Chains A and B, each alone.
Chain A
Amino acid sequence: MPNHAITAENLTYRYGDLLAVDHINFDVAEGEILGFLGPNGAGKTTTVKMLTGQMRPKEGKATLLGMDVTTQTEKVQAQIGVCFEIANLYEQMTGLENLKLFAQLFSVKNFDARALLDRVGLGERGKDRVEGYSKGMKQRLMVARALVNQPRILFLDEPTEGLDPVSAESIRNLILDEAKRGVTIFLTTHDMLEADKLCDRVAFIDRGKIAVLDTPHNLKQQYGKRRVKAQVTGHDGKLENREIRLDTDATATDLQKLFSAEKVITIHSEEASLEDIFIQITGRGLA
C-alpha cells in the first residue's frame, strides 16, 4: 500500500446554508499528480483551502504527510507550496525580493533566489518590479514562490489559466519536473486536456461531491465510447456522417458494409475526452 501524502476524510465545508464541500473522501499517494476537476463553484478552491490550513473544515479531517492540518497547521504549511489562481504578489517589490521574503518566512537556509528564477525563465527580470511583469511572468513567479521551501506537496490552482501557450507549456514542464523529484501535486483545473496530459489520476468534483476518481485511462475505458466516424457521399451527392461503435459483435460487419456500400471520403477513430466523460457523469459541462 503506498504512503499517502494527502488524506481527506468526510471533509465538509458550509458557507451558511450552502454546502460547498459535502463529506468528500480521497487519498493522494506520495509523488502522485492528482487532477481536481470541476466547474466554477464546484468546491475545488474550498477543498484546497481546507487542505492547506487556510480554512478549518466544518466536519471531517484532512491529513497531510501524516499530520492533521487543523491541529498542526504550521508544521504542515512548512512542507507545502501553494500557487494561487489569482496573482497575489507584492508588486512594489522585485521578483527576487518577493522570493527572498517568502524564503525568510519559511526559514530557508542558503536560499538561491536567482537559481529559482532561472528555473521559471525569469532570471533576466529578477531585479525588475513585479508591477511591470506580464500575466504569464507573474504566474511563473507565483509557481517559483510556491517552490521556495522545496515543498513535498504542491497545490496548484489553475496554474495555466489565461496564459499564452509558451508560458503554459513552461509551467507544465515545471510541474512534471517537480513530480519527477517526488513531489506530490494537487492540481486544480477545469482544463481537461491539461489534466489528461499531466495527471496520474483525476477526481471530478461537482456540487461539493466527488463524482468519480480514477486514472484518465480507466475513465476513458469505463465511460468512453470507442467509435469510428466517417464522412460518405450520399445518394444526392451531399456529405453525410456515419458512426460505427467499436468493441461490439457487429463492428466488423458494419465496417465491411461501410466500405462496400458507400463512398468513404474521410474516416477516423475517436475516444472520449475527459470533458465528454465529465458531462456524461455529472450531466453538465465545465463552464
Chain B
Amino acid sequence: MNINRIFTLVKKEFLFGSKNFIFIMAVVMPVVLTLVISLLVGTLFSGKPRLGIVDQGHSQLTAKLDQLDYLTTELYPSAELLHTEVERGALDMGLVLPADFDRRLQAEAETGMDLLIWGESLLKHRTILAVSLVRQIIDVAGREIPVNTALVLLGEEANILWDVRLFPFVVIITILLGGMMVPATSLVEEKVKRTYRALLITPASLRDILTAKGLTGVILALFEGLLILSINRAFGSQPATLIAVMIISGIFAAATGIILGVLVKDISTLFTVIKSLGIFLYAPAFVFMFPEIPQWIAQIFPTYYLLNPIIELTMNNATWADIATDVYILIGLTIALIGVAGFLARRALDADA
C-alpha cells in the first residue's frame, strides 16, 4: 500500500465524487433529517433553559442548580461578563449571588441577589428557571414548605420523547449513508465506466483503490456523525471513546459498502439491493424506537453493535465497561467484513477482467 497514492485517490473521491447525487445526499440528508425532527418533535430550537451564575461565595445554591438536568448552568467570573451574555441572548437568565448569601439565608437575615433576564427568552424558560430557583433557595435555607403536593402522572408512564426515539435512526442513517453508500456507489460507477481498469494499470494496487474508497466513507461518516451529535448536543461524558467507536463504525459501514460495490454490477441493482437490505440494516433503530418491542431482538442484527455503543455513550452516559462487549463484537465483525471485502474484490474484479 502506498500512502501518497491513497491520498491522491481520496482527494479525487472528495473533489469529483462530491458532484455525485449519493455523496450530496450523504452530506445533506442527516442534517436535514435532524433539523426536521428537532423542529417537529424535539427541543433543538427551544432547548433547555440556560442559566448563568456569578457566585461570589461558593453558595450551595449554585451546586444544587447545577444538578438539575433540565437546566443548563454555567459559571461566570464577573457580573459584567454575565450582563453582556444575557444581553446578547446567550443566556435566558443571569444570577449574581453575594458572598454571604448562604449564611444570611440560613440566619433568616435579609439578603438579596441580582437576576438578569434576557428580554426575548421564552416564557416557559423563565417559568422553569424562576420555579427552580425558588425551590432550591428554600432547600438551601433549610425550611419546609407548608404545602404537600400530590403528583398525578397522566399518559404513559414510560413516555419517551419522539426526538429521543428517532435519534438512533438518524445516527444509523448518517453512518450508513456516508460510510456505506458512498464507497458502494463510487465503486459501482468505476466498474460501469471501466475507469478502475485504467487505475489498475498504474502502480496503484487494488488494495490502494479500495482503501481510498473505504477511507472516503469513514471520513464522511465520522464528519457527518460529529455534526449530528453537535446539533443534538449529544457528546456524552466520554467524547474520545465516542469518536473511537464512530471511527470503527465508519470502517464497518465502509467494508459493507465495498462488498456491495464489488458484488453489484450497476447502480440500479445497487439501489434494489440496498432497499432489500434496508430492514436488516436499520432494524436495531426501529427496535430502539419502540420500547414495547423486546429489546434483545435488536442484538440479532450486526448494525446493533455499532448503534448501541453510540446510543449508550450519547444518551445514557455509559462508561467503557458498559459498552466494551459490544465494541469488541463490532471490531470482530469489522475485521471479518474487511477480509471478505478483500477476498471478493480480488475474485470479482479478476473475473470481470
Contact = CB atoms under 8 A, between A and B. Distances in A.
Interface of A: 49, 52-56, 74, 77-78, 80, 82, 84, 86, 88-93, 97, 101-102, 104-107, 145
Contacts of A49: 353
Contact of A53 (B5, B9, B199, B201): B201
Contact of B198 (A56, A78, A93, A145): A145
Contacts of B9: 105
B221 to A, nearest CB: 23
Contact of B194 (A56, A77, A88, A106): A88
A55 B353 contact: yes
Given A88-B193, A88-B195, A90-B195, A101 B8 contact: yes
Contacts of A107: 4-5, 203
B8 A74 contact: no
Contacts of A52: 201
Contact of B197 (A74, A88, A92, A145): A88
Contacts of A86: 194
Given A90-B16, A104-B8, A105-B8, A54 B194 contact: no
Contacts of B197: 54, 84, 88
Interface residues of B, number: 21
Contacts, number: 59
B143 interface: no
A89 to B, nearest CB: 7
B201 A80 contact: yes
A56 B351 CA distance: 11
20 contacts: A52-B201, A54-B200, A54-B353, A55-B350, A55-B353, A77-B202, A77-B203, A82-B201, A84-B194, A86-B194, A88-B193, A91-B193, A92-B16, A92-B19, A101-B8, A102-B198, A102-B202, A104-B4, A105-B202, A107-B5
Nearest to B16: A92
Contacts of B194: 84, 86, 88
B121 interface: no
Contacts of A104: 4-5, 8
Nearest to B200: A54
Nearest to B199: A105
A93 B204 CA distance: 19
Contact of B203 (A54, A82, A101, A105): A105
Nearest to B201: A82
Contacts of A78: 203
Given A92-B16, A105-B204, A84 B198 contact: yes
Q: Which 7 A-B pairs have the closest CB atoms?
A: A88-B194, A105-B202, A104-B8, A82-B201, A74-B203, A105-B204, A88-B198
Contact of A89 (B195, B203, B204, B353): B195
- Name A's interface SS: loop
Contacts of B199: 105
B346 to A, nearest CB: 11
A104 B350 CA distance: 25
Contacts of B205: 74
Nearest to B9: A105
Contacts of A84: 194, 197-198
B12 interface: yes
Nearest to B209: A105
Contacts of B4: 104, 107
A97 B19 CA distance: 15
Nearest to A148: B202
Contacts of A56: 350
B23 to A, nearest CB: 12
A106 B202 CA distance: 6
A101 B5 CA distance: 10
A49 B351 CA distance: 13
Interface in B171-209: 193-195, 197-205
A105 B194 CA distance: 17
A104 B203 CA distance: 10
A105 B16 contact: no
Contact of B201 (A77, A89, A91): A77
A74 B2 CA distance: 11
A121 to B, nearest CB: 21
Contacts of A77: 201-203
Nearest to A105: B202
Interface in B9-33: 9, 12, 16, 19
A105 B193 contact: no
B253 to A, nearest CB: 24
A105 B202 CA distance: 7
A202 B87 CA distance: 87
A102 B202 CA distance: 8
Contacts of A53: 201
Interface string B96-116: 000000000000000000000
A145 B4 CA distance: 20
B334 to A, nearest CB: 28
Given A74-B205, A102-B198, 17 more contacts: A49-B353, A54-B200, A55-B350, A74-B203, A77-B201, A77-B203, A80-B201, A84-B198, A88-B193, A88-B198, A89-B198, A90-B16, A90-B195, A91-B193, A92-B19, A105-B202, A107-B203
A55 to B, nearest CB: 5
